[in-house]
Amino acid sequence: MTKLYYDVGEIGWSMYLAAHIRYLHENRRPAAVATAEAKRVFYRGTASEILPVPFEWKEKFGGFPSDGGHLYNPVTRRRIKDHQILSEPFRKAYPGYDVVTRYGTFPNERTFAPYNHSEEAEEFVRETFQQRKAILIFPRHRGSKFKGRNIPRRYWEIIADALCERFPENTVAAFGSRNGAYTDLSVSRENYMNLVGRNDAVSLDWMTALCNTGFARAAVGNQSGTVKMTLLCGTPTFIFGHEEHRHTVTENWAGTKVGFYRAGPLVKWDRKASLFGYRIKSLTKFIDQVIDFVEQVQPVVKH
């Protein structure tokens, strides 16, 4: 019986599952994955099948945000992490599969490699960006338990504007989901492009295509799953956050060029910046570091 994994977690945890699925594929142990349309890019070419999330699961749990490899209930302020409960709709919908209920980082059975974008995503990238390189930015803005590690909207507007001004030959493209990023940054530069929430079902596919084809010159964002994706797909990335070694070494699986700015918590006792967000002491110095990093990046030519 074919094993069926399901992906309902945050992007960072999807990457561990994707690495495990690739390992199984390489070792001729086929496994299927049930996941949302937006995450097909993680499993294209490695999962034996990519199945939709059952309607019953969406009805029961679709309103809860992901928390690590689990879900989070904002009312009770507790994780929903019992996979016997989370897996029930999958077992009902796919009785011919052996539904897996144990998840983690799969330390001895994983292969990290760039993801396979779709032909449609590459076509979109080539038509949209033409011959211009892109600088990707990820203006993260999450709510509830996840509002930590945000920075103010105005900061992102200043960052985007500065990048547009310094690199007029490039397109500064904002990426993010409608519920997880600032959707309406006020940036009036001609070389600014807002793709936040434009089509959440294929946004990660577009981003991967930009990286894989070499259209992406660099990426900028706070520590999150998206910057780990750009690094894995070979795009030099500048990250700000509080876990430098983790994001520049431990989870920089491809060894891609990376810059890091240590951003402390806005409130001192909020050690992990999980409640009130980051504090950037000098936005001017921060932007100078970002620009210096992008200037050092050599344009990548891929075919």
pLDDT tens-digit map of 236-265: 999 999 899 999 999 999 999 999 999 877
Backbone dihedral region for residue 23 (phi beyond 0: left; psi -120 to 50: alpha; all else: beta): alpha
Q: What percent of the chain has pLDDT over 70?
A: 97
pLDDT tens-digit map of 22-54: 999 999 999 999 999 999 999 999 999 999 999
Q: Which residues contact 118 (CB under 8 A, 6 or more apart)?
A: 40, 41, 44, 202, 205, 209
pTM for this model (two decimals):
0.94
Q: Which of 206, 215, 207, 235 is nearest to 302 (CA)?
A: 215
Sheet of 78-80, strands arranged across: 66-67, 70-73, 78-80
Residue 148 predicted with pLDDT over 90: no
Residue 127 predicted with pLDDT over 60: yes
Q: What percent of the chain has pLDDT over 90?
A: 78
Structure tokens that stand for 134 in this block: 């892109």
Residue with tokens 């070979």: 234
pLDDT tens-digit map of 130-146: 989 999 999 999 876 66
Domain end point (choices 47, 68, 99): 99
CATH number at residue 161: 3.40.50.2000
125 and 95 share one domain: no
Range of the domain at 31: 3-99
161 vs 251: CA distance, rounded Å: 30
Domain-located, residue 111: no
237 and 137 share one domain: yes
Domain-located, residue 107: no
Residue 1 predicted with pLDDT over 50: yes
135 and 82 share one domain: no
8 vs 69, residue with greater confidence = 8
Domain end point (choices 50, 69, 99): 99
Asked whether 135 and 220 are in contact (CB, 8 A), the reply is yes
178 and 52 share one domain: no
pLDDT tens-digit map of 63-109: 888 877 778 887 777 888 888 889 999 999 999 999 999 999 999 99
202 and 254 share one domain: yes
Domain count within the chain: 2
290 vs 165: CA distance, rounded Å: 13
Q: What is the pLDDT of residue 206?
A: 99
Q: pLDDT confidence of 303, banded at 50, 70, 90?
A: very low
